[in-house]
Amino acid sequence: MLVEPGELLAAINSPDDLKKLSEDQLVQVSQELRQFIIDSVSIYGGHFGASLGVVELTVALHYVFNTPYDQLVWDVGHQAYGHKILTGRRDRFPTNRRYGGMSGFPKRKESEYDAFGVGHSSTSIGAALGMAVASDYKGEKDRQHIAVIGDGAMTAGMAFEALNHAGVANSNLLVILNDNCMSIDPNVGALKEYLTDITTSRTYNKVRDELWNVLGKLSKFGPNPQQIARKVEQAMKATLLKQSNLFEALNFRYFGPVDGHDVQHLATILRDLKTIPGPKILHCVTVKGKGYALAEKDQTLWHAPGLFDKITGEIHTKTYEKPQPPKYQDVFGHTMVELAEQNDKVMGVTPAMPSGCSLNIMMKAMPDRAFDVGIAEQHAVTFSAGLATQGLVPFCNIYSSFMQRAYDQVLHDVALQNLNVVFCLDRAGFAGADGPTHHGCYDIAYMRSIPNMVVSAPMNEEELRNLMYTAQLPDMGPFSIRYPRGEGMMPEWRTPLKKIAVGTGRVVREGEGVAILSIGHIGNYAAKATQQLAAEGLNVGHYDMRFAKPLDEEMLAAALSKYKAIVTVEDGCLPGGFGAAILEFMADHGYSVPVKRLGIPDRIVEHGTQDELYKECGFDVAGIAAAVREMAGKVAAKAAVEKVVL
């Protein structure tokens, strides 16, 4: 073991062991847990700042509540490392996010302590409410249901929808709002300002603390003082806070704000809250990255820093002798500025991923033309639709998997009205270590089914730039461009912007016998496979189709007439995907050439590096080459049979 737990932590293999500690020992065990997370993430990688920020909360929750009977739902789950360590998975930590190893997020099949599988944000309140209502139905009156949600996740519509329901369901639900003023980037929006208003109202906090101190003393004499104090507190909130009672207006009892790093105080409060029925919210104020100075200072960088030297804080980056290709996201970010300089109608929109998708480059250069709307994918799409009705051309950049949330908005608000909105789907295909919650498998299939939608994918940086350029030309209608996480292919990527005729592909190489039809970046793997095959004497054709919709029908017809077998390659799901589009075209036009489709199969693919997952699914370079050989073998066998018959 490269990471040794501290003395108390070493003895904790489940929350039952934690409960054996005295309340005085909670501070030490919290320190040890924090150190274990720092030590582990520095050498194994993963999300960092969020877990450090909830160390005390995690300890207090498992100390006070009877998990797993009491159900604890973590929102997003990127902050649940402490939870995993305390619930019997400390020894598995070296495998975190690795192929075949522990998931970076809570996952029901991984542990009975993971009450709900997460990864996408803002699901915790709805899920915990469902559990609470189920407990009501089953008569489990003693069961507790807790949702831990961050201030960033709280900005999403789903969270509000669940609060709205919970306020009348009257079930036993505790929402813990972990307020650190941060999403991945600084949190945005009016809710953030409201929460800041509560946390910074010194007068309110002072009067409230005094009131509850008195209450604590009086409560020995019965529940009445509590009721009086509550009434006084409500009146006080209304007068002392600018906008009061957002949560109380939704029938939640609001407690806080409390210091989320005072573990003993948290344990006391949580114990009290256990006795209060119905929906309640505890507002905890925490610091993202708490306990690691650099992470406290640059919270965005340390959200998920990669491997680092825990002593110096140096983040390990590879060094290269030659210039390397840029990340696709950066090509997007810089090209946005270039396009916006040329076309004053171009705007940028991101739901809470400005640094993830590099729209932050435009937000800095043109703050009035690029918007972070918070974790609100549905709103991001409809907001973009609104901009488009006024003649603007919004580029709405959403990670492929998060876009799943906004399918109806794409269809109803954009496509039905044929509005000029450009959807840039970053992290399309396998996301890698984040795993199935984040893999962008489905976008070709779901975008292809939408009328008016152009579905495209660049094979390299130049194509990304040209597709972006094309998409903002007049009257293009809804236009989607997908590209993967990570680097492209071209160190010299600032190529002149050129129009690509919609629905046209390009020939990468002519061959004979078998042709590969690929879409997007994975075409580079196909290109390598064709080179390997050429060395073996197999001269394989390769077409970079660029568009899954509309297909380049002319090119396809030519390829289907010339070649005896086809292999399609996509970094997307096979059902309904690019290969399926080719088969539909063939069926509709009477082609019967044998086809082998390579892509993401119809099952959940877990986490690992992108290359490990391509290999697992058979579309890494070796897999593509093997598929071509197989098809070439069939072609040769068929030709041999035909020769004998003749």
Ligand X SMILES: CC(=O)[C@@H](O)[C@H](O)COP(=O)(O)O
Ligand Y SMILES: Cc1ncc(C[n+]2csc(CCOP(=O)(O)OP(=O)(O)O)c2C)c(N)n1
Give the residue numbers of the binding site: 78, 119-121, 151-153, 180, 292, 377
Per CB under 6 A, the segment of 27-35, 130-138, 147-155, 275-283 that binds ligand Y is 147-155
| Cβ-based nearer residue to ligand X, 377 or 552 | 377
34, 405, 465, 485: the active-site residue: 405
* Residue 335 CB partners (closer than 8 Å, separation 6+): 464, 465, 468, 469, 497
- 97: contact with ligand X by CB under 6 A: no
Q: Which of residues 321-350 bind ligand Y (CB under 6 A)?
A: none
Q: Supply 37's token pair.
A: 């997370």
Burial class of residue 332 (count of CB atoms within 10 Å of its CB; 0-12, 13-18, 19+) = buried
Distances (CA, A) of 414 to 261, 386, 394, 470, 609: 45, 9, 11, 18, 34
Angle, helix 26-44 to helix 55-64, in steps of 10 degrees? 130
> Which of 79, 87, 300, 480 is in the footprint of ligand Y by CB under 6 A?
79
Per CB under 6 A, the segment of 148-156, 310-318, 325-333, 471-479 that binds ligand Y is 148-156
Least distance (Å) between residue 12 CB and Mg ion: 27
192, 288, 465, 597: the active-site residue: 288
| Cβ-based nearer residue to ligand X, 153 or 419 | 153
Is 62 in contact with 15 (CB distance < 8 Å)? yes
What is the C-alpha to C-alpha distance for residues 614 and 119, in angstroms, rounded to an integer? 21
32, 56, 233, 377: the active-site residue: 377
Distances (CA, A) of 70 to 14, 265, 402: 14, 20, 29
Helix (H, G, I), strand (E, B) or coil at 399: strand
> Which of 84, 261, 283, 288 is in the footprint of ligand Y by CB under 6 A?
288
Q: Where is the binding site for Mg(2+), in residues? A: 151, 180
Least distance (Å) between residue 290 CB and ligand Y: 11
- 51: contact with ligand Y by CB under 6 A: no
Rounded to the nearest 5 degrees, what angle is found at the Cα of 126, between the Cα atoms of 304 and 199? 60
Per CB under 6 A, the segment of 411-419, 426-434, 539-547, 594-602 that binds ligand X is 426-434
Is 267 in contact with 60 (CB distance < 8 Å)? yes
User: Any catalytic annotation for residue 92?
Assistant: no
Binding site for Mg ion (CB under 5 A): 150-152, 180, 182
- 149: contact with ligand X by CB under 6 A: no
Which residue from 28, 241, 329 is spatially nearest to 36, judged by alpha carbons?
Answer: 28
| Cβ-based nearer residue to ligand Y, 52 or 131 | 52
> Which of 84, 261, 427, 607 is in the footprint of ligand X by CB under 6 A?
427
| Cβ-based nearer residue to ligand Y, 399 or 547 | 399
Least distance (Å) between residue 187 CB and ligand Y: 6
| Cβ-based nearer residue to ligand X, 97 or 145 | 97
Least distance (Å) between residue 283 CB and ligand Y: 13
Q: Supply 179's token pair.
A: 């307020």
3-state SS, 614-642, equals: HHHCCCCHHHHHHHHHHHHHHHHHHHHHH
CA terminus-to-terminus distance, the chain: 69
3-state helix, strand, coil in the chain (%, to 5): 45, 15, 40
Q: Which of residues 596-615 bind ligand Y (CB under 6 A)?
A: none
Per CB under 6 A, the segment of 336-344, 427-435, 440-448, 473-481 that binds ligand X is 427-435
Report the sign of the C-alpha dihedral through residues 279, 214, 142, 261, in that order.
Answer: positive
- 50: contact with ligand Y by CB under 6 A: yes
Least distance (Å) between residue 363 CB and ligand Y: 15
User: Any catalytic annotation for residue 405?
Assistant: yes
Least distance (Å) between residue 356 CB and ligand X: 4
Size of the site for ligand Y (CB under 6 A): 22
Q: Where is the binding site for thiamine diphosphate, in residues? A: 78, 119-121, 152-153, 180, 292, 377
The pattern of x and - marking residues 297 through 316 that bind ligand X according to CB under 6 A reads: -------x------------
> Which of 75, 151, 434, 570 is in the footprint of ligand X by CB under 6 A?
434
What is the C-alpha to C-alpha distance for residues 124 and 117, in angstroms, rounded to an integer? 10
Is 541 in contact with 563 (CB distance < 8 Å)? yes
> Which of 63, 328, 402, 578 is in the footprint of ligand Y by CB under 6 A?
402
Q: Residue 257, preceding bond cis, omega within 30 degrees?
A: yes
Q: Which of residues 174-193 bind ligand X (CB under 6 A)?
A: 184
> Which of 26, 29, 52, 76 is in the footprint of ligand X by CB under 6 A?
76
What is the C-alpha to C-alpha distance for residues 363 and 186, in angstroms, rounded to an integer? 13
> Which of 38, 184, 336, 359 is in the footprint of ligand Y by CB under 6 A?
184
3-state SS, 454-519, equals: EEECCCCHHHHHHHHHHHCCCCCCCEEEECCCCECCCCCCCCCCCCCCCCCCEEEECCCCEEEEEC
User: Any catalytic annotation for residue 288?
Assistant: yes
Size of the site for ligand X (CB under 6 A): 9
Least distance (Å) between residue 182 CB and ligand X: 12
Beta strands 541-544; 479-482: pairing state? unpaired
Least distance (Å) between residue 154 CB and ligand X: 15
- 327: contact with ligand X by CB under 6 A: no
The pattern of x and - marking residues 220 through 259 that bind ligand Y according to CB under 6 A reads: ----------------------------------------
Least distance (Å) between residue 289 CB and Mg ion: 11
Question: Residue for token digits 């970046």?
Answer: 521
* Residue 501 CB partners (closer than 8 Å, separation 6+): none
Angle, helix 157-169 to helix 124-138, in steps of 10 degrees? 20
- 356: contact with ligand X by CB under 6 A: yes
- 151: contact with ligand Y by CB under 6 A: yes
> Which of 59, 153, 508, 627 is in the footprint of ligand Y by CB under 6 A?
153
What is the C-alpha to C-alpha distance for residues 374 and 364, in angstroms, rounded to an integer? 17
> Which of 59, 340, 352, 424 is in the footprint of ligand Y by CB under 6 A?
352
Burial class of residue 3 (count of CB atoms within 10 Å of its CB; 0-12, 13-18, 19+) = middle
Rounded to the nearest 5 degrees, what angle is found at the Cα of 83, between the Cα atoms of 80 and 85? 110
* Residue 580 CB partners (closer than 8 Å, separation 6+): 445, 574, 597
Binding partner selected for residue 79 from ligand X, Mg ion, ligand Y, none, CB under the kind-specific 5 to 8 Å limit: ligand Y
Least distance (Å) between residue 8 CB and Mg ion: 28
Which residue from 446, 397, 468, 435 is spatially nearest to 581, judged by alpha carbons?
Answer: 446
Binding partner selected for residue 50 from ligand X, Mg ion, ligand Y, none, CB under the kind-specific 5 to 8 Å limit: ligand Y
In the complex, the residues that contact ligand X under the rule CB under 6 A are: 76, 78, 184, 304, 356, 427, 431, 434, 485
Please list the active-site residues.
Answer: 288, 377, 405
In the complex, the residues that contact ligand Y under the rule CB under 6 A are: 50, 53, 76, 78-79, 120-121, 150-153, 178, 180, 182-184, 288, 352, 375, 377, 402, 405
